[in-house]
A and B are shown apart, each in its own frame.
Chain A
Amino acid sequence: MESIITAVIIVAAIGLIAGLGLAVASIAFAVPVDEKAEAIRECLPGANCGACGFSGCDGYAAALSSGEATDTTLCSPGGNDAAKAIAEVLGVSAGDVKPKVAVVLCQGNHANVNTKLDYNGVESCKMAAQLFGGPKDCIYGCLGYGDCVKACPYEAIFICDGVARINPDACKACKMCINTCPKNLIELLPLDTVQAGVFCKNRDKGAKTRKQCKVGCIGCMKCVKACEYGAVSVKDNVAHVDYEKCIGCGKCAEACPVKAINLVDIKRH
């Protein structure tokens, strides 16, 4: 009996000392914390996944409060709810956060683009791209080996006829696929807004592009002339749309002779 009492006393004493020690230490060694950072930290899910590019939720919160980071939408697990909550804490109006979805800007499926070699290597875009830029004639296009499919934590991406496609219902705009794509084909486009999008990244001269792909941008400037708002420009033989200026009138898409420009109207169901 006595030994049990000694055991209880010793363990309890050690626990008490440890607890009191920690309590004293947390006061004595208290580091002044940024209240704003603390409030932002509360909005984050606390998964410490690192998808935002910082050393965890604490790191992201500290960066936001110190002004080091301004983008409140980097937290992919928290999604739009977290982004809105952070925006509120920071005093940025929540309306500033426009929901976006990732879109693969390539239409080079098997019907539109020819293949130049028979690739039998590792099923990976990164690997295939190192062999003459990939098996397709167009070295700028989607290779369709699904590196983005593997990178996507939400299973939003699938390969359709040799080109990756993203399901806007599942996409959380976490940018994992954007960082993975070796051809830099994926971009974030605004959700629920009618806008023009150039579905091509081919920087070759028009005549060469035409031979490679039926729907490749040939840099003919027709879209630039058609646009009344100066939203379309051609650089390196490929058209770009300034999403800030574009109102989604669709004149550039009508003018495009190869249908590389499409009106996109992405909606979630």
Chain B
Amino acid sequence: MEMTKELFSVLLTAILTQNFVLAKFLGICPFLGVSKKVKTASGMSLAVIFVMVLATAVTFPINKYLLVKFNLEYLQTIVFILVIAALVQLVEIVLKKYMKSLYNALGIYLPLITTNCAVLGVVLLNIESNYSFATSMVNSLGAGLGFLLAMVMFAGVRERLESCDIPKALQGLPITLIAASLVSVSFLGFTGVVESIFG
């Protein structure tokens, strides 16, 4: 029971209070780049969720049984980049062969996020927080879901910005960044929510 409670707490924290995009400012590039339409935003986010969970599942044992054992924790960043990139390529090859529809749905986004800082960030933060394997997996899932939430919400905001009369100086990226900061500020409203539920 205690375990389930902790996992739920980690999940909600990763989605809401410690949202990777809006609170930790990781993965800003895809957040601004592919959030023009809800459809592409959700496709990208699904790929991110998939890769995040997969990357955690692979990097956790590598860290525990290889890097920690030989006192090589300082190699985490480079080894993880290597492993995640190779893993995603492998997954892409396998998906292309056996699950054509999923491959088409994730499409171009899968290779794009191999070295996404949010993906690397989640595996490094899992280790930094001394999470167990199960907690790490849940945290990665939550981070991915939080990314989905932020992307889809922001894509909705941007679709509405399209039909607004924006001053010329602010058109394009400037108004997008302002909107992103407002969405980020609104997420600060979740501060303390998770603690008060599970505290």
Question: With A and B bound together, what is the CA distance between A29 and B67 in angstroms?
Answer: 31
On whether A10 and B66 interact (CB within 8 A), knowing A25-B94, A29-B97, A122-B165, the answer reads yes
**Which residues of A pack against B, CB within 8 Å?**
3, 6-7, 10-11, 14-15, 18-19, 21-22, 25-26, 29-31, 48, 55-56, 121-124, 126-127
Residues of B contacting A6 with CB < 8 Å? 70, 72
What total count of A-B pairs have CB within 8 Å? 62
**Which chain B residue shows the least CB distance to A18?**
B86
Question: With A and B bound together, what is the CA distance between A56 and B112 in angstroms?
Answer: 14
Tell me if B170 is interfacial: C-beta within 8 Å of chain A. Answer: no
Interface size on B, residues (CB 8 A): 27
Q: Which 3 A-B pairs have the closest CB atoms?
A: A18-B86, A29-B97, A122-B165
**Which chain A residue shows the least CB distance to B105?**
A55
Per a CB cutoff under 8 Å, which of B97, B98, B107, B163 touches A55?
B107
Residues of A contacting B164 with CB < 8 Å? 122
Please, what's the 1-or-0 string for B73-104, where 1 marks a CB less than 8 Å from any CB in chain A?
A: 00100110011011101100110111000001
Tell me if B108 is interfacial: C-beta within 8 Å of chain A. Answer: yes
* Minimal beta-carbon separation of A119 from chain B (angstroms): 12
Per a CB cutoff under 8 Å, which of B62, B96, B107 touches A56?
B107
Question: With A and B bound together, what is the CA distance between A18 and B97 in angstroms?
Answer: 19
**Which chain A residue shows the least CB distance to B168?**
A123
**Which chain A residue shows the least CB distance to B86?**
A18
Q: Please, could you name 30 A-B residue pairs with CB atoms under 8 Å apart, sorted by A?
A: A3-B70, A3-B71, A3-B72, A10-B66, A10-B70, A10-B75, A10-B79, A11-B78, A11-B82, A14-B62, A14-B79, A14-B82, A14-B83, A18-B82, A18-B85, A18-B86, A22-B86, A25-B90, A25-B93, A29-B93, A29-B94, A29-B96, A29-B98, A30-B97, A31-B96, A48-B108, A55-B104, A121-B165, A124-B163, A127-B163
Per a CB cutoff under 8 Å, which of A18, A124, A126 touches B83?
A18
**Which chain B residue shows the least CB distance to A13?**
B66
Residues of A contacting B78 with CB < 8 Å? 11
**Which chain A residue shows the least CB distance to B40?**
A50
Question: With A and B bound together, what is the CA distance between A29 and B95 in angstroms?
Answer: 9
